[in-house]
């Protein structure tokens, strides 16, 4: 029920990958979203390694109570003020998803609040729209697990293009492992900083765009090969020396050009000139800059958010969950399962017209 000020309040729990996030959001009587708290704790693995499901799940279980308490304190609300508990149903890694779902169920039973299962991708899109004010953009969703070009039509977020193999963020993360770059705060962030020192040479990597889809595994394979050549003191194809910075620069220039190209194709197809970038890779300023140049040429603009909302967080789950809850959607306890596979276009978007 709305409170005395006509507000509805939701708590959201996210843990589909290595970030555990819990956030509290309020929707006022006009429907505007207000972030009351947004707490996140990240599982960081040592350089040269990735985060394994088992360790990540353990991290989420260990920190769930601390992060939830912090979120309530920051927001200054009591559990009784909440309307619902939202959690990520998927897609994501099974272990971490389950850990957080168990946490959400516990809160739901403890406080007697209904559960709302949320699609992680829809969470990103709705949060991006709410923060930037982009009304009906083409969405580029780029993260460690997902790469999709999405546009809204008739009650669903439709996927126009996507990766045919690994996600763009996975390509960056794994290349960071090859170079043994730090995973703190995020491998992609450190690649971005290193790439800023490159730019003298652009090495030759495959470029794999197929219509509105793209592929990254072959590019990663070639980048790894070049890294091995570099370490053994070898030269580039034109006899030039190259450094890890040059490799990072080349990798970014190539894969971001692919992403901008498929986004532009989708924009031409649906006749839109707004583009919204969401997901962890969306924080990358070079990607934002390239997208901005493309959008400007089409007479439009790019909308992007900063790391608070781009990187996985609980507040986006709370926001998307509350939107669904307001249309009467709830997830019964016995149906509050998680799934590693959950396509963006499976969600019926009742709250938009």
Partner 1 sequence: MTVNPTTAGASEPQFPLPSILTNPASAPPLLIAQGAEGRLYKTTYLVPELACAVKYRPPKPYRHPLLDARLTKARLSSEAKVLDRCARDGVPVPALYAIDAAAGWMALEWIEGAPVRQGINEWLGARPETDTTPDEQVDQTPLVDLMRRIGTVMGALHRTGVVHGDLTTSNMMLRPWKDGHTGGGNGTVLDGDVVLIDFGLATQSQSDEDRAVDLYVLERAFASTHPRAEAHFEYVLEAYGKTFKKAPSVLVKLADVRMRGRKRSMLG
- For 22, 36, 285, 308, the CA distances from 280, given in Å and listed in that order, are 17, 22, 12, 10
109-112: list long-range contacts, CB under 8 Å, 24+ apart.
109/333, 110/79, 111/79, 111/80, 111/82, 111/85
The answer to the question of whether 92 is labelled as a binding residue is: no
Shortest spacing between CB 33 and partner 1, in angstroms? 26
Rank residues 85 and 138 by Cβ distance to partner 1 and give the closer one.
138
Shortest spacing between CB 212 and partner 1, in angstroms? 9
CA separation for the pair 11, 23 (Å, rounded):
6
Q: Which residues contact 198 (CB under 8 A, 6 or more apart)?
A: 243, 245, 246, 247, 248, 249, 250
Shortest spacing between CB 3 and partner 1, in angstroms? 35
The answer to the question of whether 173 is labelled as a binding residue is: yes
Answer whether 263's CB lies under 8 Å from 142's CB: no
Rank residues 126 and 162 by Cβ distance to partner 1 and give the closer one.
162
Shortest spacing between CB 201 and partner 1, in angstroms? 9
Rank residues 120 and 319 by Cβ distance to partner 1 and give the closer one.
120
The answer to the question of whether 145 is labelled as a binding residue is: yes
What is the three-class DSSP state of 173? Answer: helix
Cross-strand partners of 55: none
CA separation for the pair 118, 116 (Å, rounded):
6
The answer to the question of whether 124 is labelled as a binding residue is: yes
Answer whether 169's CB lies under 8 Å from 312's CB: no
Shortest spacing between CB 202 and partner 1, in angstroms? 5
Shortest spacing between CB 270 and partner 1, in angstroms? 10
The answer to the question of whether 188 is labelled as a binding residue is: yes
Rank residues 92 and 117 by Cβ distance to partner 1 and give the closer one.
92
- Chain residues that interact with partner 1, rule: CB under 8 A: 16-17, 90-93, 97, 120, 145-146, 162, 164, 202, 207, 211, 253-254, 257, 260-261, 264-265, 267-269, 271, 289-291, 293-294, 297, 340-344
CA separation for the pair 189, 18 (Å, rounded):
15
CA separation for the pair 168, 281 (Å, rounded):
8
Q: How many CB atoms lie within 10 A of CB 339?
A: 14
The answer to the question of whether 62 is labelled as a binding residue is: no
Answer whether 333's CB lies under 8 Å from 108's CB: yes
The answer to the question of whether 192 is labelled as a binding residue is: yes
Q: At 213, which helix (H) or strand (E)?
A: strand 213-214
The answer to the question of whether 240 is labelled as a binding residue is: no
Burial of 154 (0-12, 13-18, 19+ CB in 10 A): exposed
Rank residues 54 and 69 by Cβ distance to partner 1 and give the closer one.
54
The answer to the question of whether 284 is labelled as a binding residue is: yes
Q: How many CB atoms lie within 10 A of CB 77?
A: 19
Rank residues 93 and 311 by Cβ distance to partner 1 and give the closer one.
93
Shortest spacing between CB 246 and partner 1, in angstroms? 12
Rank residues 81 and 257 by Cβ distance to partner 1 and give the closer one.
257
Residues annotated within a binding site for substrate = 141-145, 173, 188, 192, 284
Residues annotated within a binding site = 120, 124, 141-145, 173, 188, 192, 284, 312
Residues annotated within a binding site for a divalent metal cation = 120, 124, 141, 312
């Amino acid at each position: 029920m709305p409170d005395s000020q006509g507000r509805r309040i939701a708590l959201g729990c996210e843990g589909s990958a290595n970030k555990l996030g819990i956030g509290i959001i309020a929707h006022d009587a006009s429907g505007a979203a207000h972030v009351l708290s947004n707490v996140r704790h990240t599982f960081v693995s040592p350089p040269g390694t990735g985060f394994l499901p088992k360790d990540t799940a353990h991290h989420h279980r260990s920190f769930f109570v601390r992060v939830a308490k912090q979120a309530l304190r920051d927001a200054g609300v009591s559990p009784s003020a909440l309307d619902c508990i939202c959690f990520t149903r998927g897609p994501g890694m099974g272990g971490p998803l389950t850990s957080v779902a168990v946490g959400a169920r516990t809160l739901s039973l403890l406080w007697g609040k209904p559960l709302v299962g949320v699609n992680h991708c829809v969470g990103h899109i709705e949060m991006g729209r709410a923060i930037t004010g982009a009304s009906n953009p083409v969405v580029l969703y780029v993260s460690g697990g997902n790469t999709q070009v999405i546009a809204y039509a008739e009650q669903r977020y439709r996927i126009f293009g996507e990766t045919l193999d690994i996600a763009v963020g996975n390509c960056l993360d794994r290349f960071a492992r090859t170079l043994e770059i730090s995973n703190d705060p995020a491998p992609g962030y450190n690649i971005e900083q290193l790439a800023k020192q490159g730019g003298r040479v652009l090495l030759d990597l495959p470029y794999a765009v197929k219509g509105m889809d793209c592929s990254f595994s072959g590019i990663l394979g070639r980048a790894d090969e070049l890294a091995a050549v570099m370490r053994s003191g070898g030269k580039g194809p034109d006899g030039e020396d190259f450094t890890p910075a040059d490799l990072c620069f080349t990798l970014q220039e190539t894969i971001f050009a692919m992403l901008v190209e498929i986004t532009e194709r989708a924009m031409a197809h649906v006749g839109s000139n707004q583009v919204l970038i969401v997901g962890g890779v969306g924080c990358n300023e070079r990607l934002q800059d390239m997208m901005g140049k493309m959008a400007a040429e089409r007479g439009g603009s790019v909308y992007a958010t900063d790391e608070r909302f781009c990187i996985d967080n609980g507040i986006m789950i709370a926001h998307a969950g509350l939107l669904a809850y307001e249309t009467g959607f709830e997830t019964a306890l016995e149906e509050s399962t998680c799934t590693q596979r959950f396509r963006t276009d499976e969600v019926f978007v009742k709250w938009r017209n």
